[in-house]
Structures are given as C-alpha cells and as structure tokens.
Structure 1
C-alpha cells in the first residue's frame, strides 16, 4: 500500500448528517495523495457505519471512541494513527474546494523550514434575523482582520482548517486534553507553535466553506460563554501575558457588557436569544446588531469571569 503524503483528521460527534458534504468534497480533490481518518468521539448516530459506506469510494477509515472524550483527544488519536507526513485538520462541517489537499501540501513543500498553515473558513448562513443583523457582517470583519494580521499574531487563527507536519505535531505533544469546553484547544496549539518558533502562515487559496455556523443569537451566545470559560484554561496554563488583550473596559459599552455578564447563564441566554431574534425582524439594522452583540459579548465575558456557568459539553 502506497503511503499517502497527507492525512486529513476529522474529529466528529453526532456528525452523520454533516459528514457527507465534507466527504463529497474530498472525493473531488485534484489529488489522490491523501487518506482520511474520521475520529468518532462516541458514536451516537451511526457515524461509523456512514464512514464504512464511504470507504468504498474514498480512502477513509474511522476510529471510534466508546464514549465522549473531547476534541483534543480525538485529534491526537487521529494523528497517532495517521500514515501521512502532513496532518490536515478539518472539522466535520466544512466544504473545501478541490485544491484543499494540494494547496496545503504545496505550502509545506515550498517552505524552507517547518511551518503551520491556516486555511480559514467562511460561514454559510441560512437567511435569518441573526445572519442579517450580525452574523454576515461579523464574518466579513473577521476575515478582513485575519487576512491583515501581522506574522506574530497569526497563531491566534489556528482552528478548523489547518495543517502541520506530523513530526511537528509529535514534537509539541499534540493538542492539550485539558480543554473540554468549546474551543481554545486550537488557540493553545497555535500558541505553542509560536513558542517553538514555527511560523503560522495564512493561505487564502485553501479556504473552506463552513456549514456549522451559529444560526441564532442564543447559539452564538452560548458558544461565546463556553469559549470564554475555555479561555481561562488557556490563561491558567500559559499565564496572563500570553493574552494581553484582556476583556473589559471603562466605556459605556463596556459597562453594559459587564452588566450583561453579571446575569448571563445558559438559561438566561436561551431566553435572551429568541427575544432578540424576534425583535431584529422589525428593529433598525444598527440597533438589532447592537442587541445581538450585547448578548454575545456579555456571554463571552461571563465565561471568563464565571467559567462554572458553562455547564454543557461540546
């Protein structure tokens, strides 16, 4: 059996409805010099059977955990089982173009030193009050900011569509399994790349469409709550100086966000979100955007200040 140049590692939980879009995109790649490992983090919906069906059309196999162990553990298991020299990490809800694998490979082959590559993602939203009031504009701002980041800050972009040599992944010890809330195991890995002196390059040519974007204010705010809580794990591990942009300020908006954070819990956010989405149908766009932003930023700050409020598991 020929050893592939790249291994695509896909962590998933409850992904049987999302994965076909990704797998069809991987079937259409302009190179076949890769394999796919889907790491099923507790099979709750027949994902392993789906992967077995796709194995007749694509070089894909699954690793199945008997129970939920977290995304970091899933990513590390995929890396340990990989045969490719390059590890491409992909979330299960992405739709990459046909040049995803060849683009990541080219970036690394053209580098004179070990690097990390970030492909970025663009969110695809259904038409909704949240998307119109906040989601699409926030994504445009994020993409503009990401493409303009200086080289010493691109590590913050490490996320759903990235690649690194397998030997670099092993040298860093993989992803940190202490992250069990939403996100930040990625940021942690990007930070450790930077600390190791490994440049993180942004590659717009391998950008992928993300189909799992938040579609309501409640979902976006709940993710912000959990992300804020996971941020504190990062600070505990690496210290306050690793993230100099501490949340909170003294302006009127900062005070409003602080007041919102004081009462933001999973329960209150689930009530606030639908109310804002309903109001966004009739309010002026600028006001609707501010109301969504208030909920999201308050939730994020609440996660930082009161991490125990993030009770769900992702």
Structure 2
C-alpha cells in the first residue's frame, strides 16, 4: 500500500552525478520513525549520468523530473514544488549531507503552524589556500551574524536548506523566474514569505553539512559579481525591504573596494591572481586581498549588472 508522504524533499540538480550519491545515501539513512517522505530530483537539462543514477535508486520514494535543456535553478525549484505531494515542502540542494534526523526535524519545526524554517549551512571546505585564509573564517562570521540578527530579518538567510508548509507555498506562489544569475532568488522568496505575514525562523537543530563549491577566490568573486547584479533586481522589486546600502560608506578600505569595482575586467581573472599569490603571502595579507577581491566584485556586479551577465 502506498503511503502519502508527510514531507516532500525538492532537489534541484545541475550536473550532479558526483554529488547525488552521497545525498541519496544520507536521505536513505533517515532514523526509524521518520515521517513518510518523498524525494523529487529535478535534473536541469544536462544528463551527466544523473538520470540513470536516479532510475536505479530503490531505497527511496523518489521521482525525477528531467528538463530537456538547462532552464536554471528557479525553474527547477518551481517544477519540483509543483509536483510535490507532501504538506511540508523541503528545499535541499544536491551538495548537502543531511543527518539521520533531517526530515523529522524539518517536519517538527512546523508543528506550531504555517511558516518558513531555515537551517544554515555547515560549510565543508577542501584544503585550498582560499579556505585556509578566508573561507572558513568568513563562514563562521556569517553564522554568528545570522543567529544574532533580529527575527524580523531572518528572511535574508533563506537559501538551500529550508522548508515551508503547503499553505505558505500556495499563498506566496513560485520562485521568481526573473532571477537567472547566481543568488537572490532565495532571498526574494524569503522576503515574500515575510511580507505575506508568515513567520520565518532559523533553526539551529537543522544546520546541515554542505560541500561548498566556492573553493577559490576566483569562484567566490565570480559568484559575488553575479549576486551583486541579482541584488539590483531584488531592490527594484522590493524597494521597501530595508536592506542596508549596497554601496559602502567612506573609509580607506571602502575607497579601495569602490576603486577596484570600477576596473573593467572579469572579476574572476583578478581574483585568480590573488589565488596564485596566497601560498606566498602572510595569512593576514592574503585575507585582505581575498576580501578586497570579493567585495569589489560584488559592488562591480551591483553597479554594472549587464557586465556581470556577460561574465556568467
């Protein structure tokens, strides 16, 4: 007899054949007593072996949706959520490593009524110079800032490990397809949940290991550029959201960020030079150069969103 799922896990996946096995292993190892759940993996237009892998998965109540061409993460999320049957809808990126109580804790987090719940990433880095001088420290600062932020701005942390009840999804509607570059489609969705009047909260018990993809300054700077461009779109749509100014105030450091943001070069190329130097520089100097690369790339993308698109 088929049991209706209590929860639906939606996994957008692009070229995920190397990441999906560990995710599926983790989901198949959920603890005894976990509420019934289904997994919906949306393969976003490139079959690198993912389709066969999913077809051979027998441990899970799993369905796959395969796009004939790359449509982007927003389209993948919307397709997955529209196909979901559960009452608790969980967004789970394909590079997460959920614990054995992952599903149960997401379901329990909604016992008090409809709303949105966020589990922050526990980023796992390979031992690159970027991770050693900047990435791990930046991740720790991000999480400390998130947990100390006012509940009214929790929506800013909506990302790849989160869940809503079906009532929230049906009220707020799908993710916004105008977001095509990296970033801000999640923040946009979190803000729309908040603006509709539903509570969003961070749940420390749902923190989940995440195999981070930004393992070099070049990758991080490129993503920062795309994110800066996407922020411009967010601000156009939600001018009342109360975000702090994207353009930094005046200081010597901010003058450097402002100046470098105007250099008409691909930010990843500039950051690649920093990557090449990190092994030879004192840790503090390296950290400053990475920060300068990332912050200036974000500001450059914000100021020139069309340039960020060209570098996508």
Specify the TM-score bucket, using the shorter chain as the normaliser: over 0.9
Q: How does 1:53-132 map to 2 (within 5 A)?
A: 53-54=56-57, 56-109=58-111, 111=112, 113-132=113-132
Distance 1:236 1:62 in 2: 35
- The 3 A distance-change label for structure 1 pair 159 and 312 is farther
Contact 2:117 2:202 in 1 (8 A): yes
TM-score by length of 1: 0.95
Work out which of the residue numbers 287, 290, 293 in structure 1 matches 2:288: 290
Deviation per CA, 1:128-147, whole angstroms, max 9, x where unpaired? 11011100100010111111
- Give the equivalent residue in structure 1 for 2:229: 229
Q: After TM superposition, list the pairs within 5 Å mapping 1:300-311 onto structure 2.
A: 300-311=298-309
Larger deviation, residues 6-15 vs 26-35: 26-35
Structure-2 residue corresponding to 1:26? 27
Q: Quick one: structure 1 residues 18 and 312, their matched pair in 2 at CA, closer, same or farther if it must change by over 3 Å?
A: farther
Instruction: Report the Cα distance in structure 1 between the residues aligned to 2:289 and 2:209, rounded to whole angstroms.
Output: 27
Q: How does 1:174-193 map to 2 (within 5 A)?
A: 174-193=174-193
- Gaps spanning 5+ residues in structure 2: where? none
Is the contact made by 1:40 and 1:64 (CA closer than 8 Å) also made in structure 2?
yes
Note the C-alpha offset of 1:238.
1.3
Query: 1:42 is matched with which residue?
Result: 45
Q: Per-residue CA shift, 1:147-193, capped at 9, x if unaligned?
A: 11111011101001000012211211111111001011100010011
User: Separation in 2 of the partners of 1:166 and 1:67?
Assistant: 28
Gaps of 5+ in 1: none
Deviations 1:237-271 (A, max 9, x none): 112654233332111111100111101543xx333
CA distance in structure 2 between the aligned counterparts of 1:264 and 1:39, rounded to whole angstroms: 37
SS in 2 for 1:163: strand
- 247 and 121 in structure 1: CA distance in 2 versus 1, 3 angstrom threshold: same
8 Å Cα contact 2:42/2:80 also seen in 1: yes
Q: How far apart are the structure 2 equivalents of 1:248 and 1:264? A: 19
Q: Report the count of equivalent residues.
A: 309
Residue 169 (1) aligns with residue 169 (2): yes
1:116 is paired with a residue whose SS is: strand
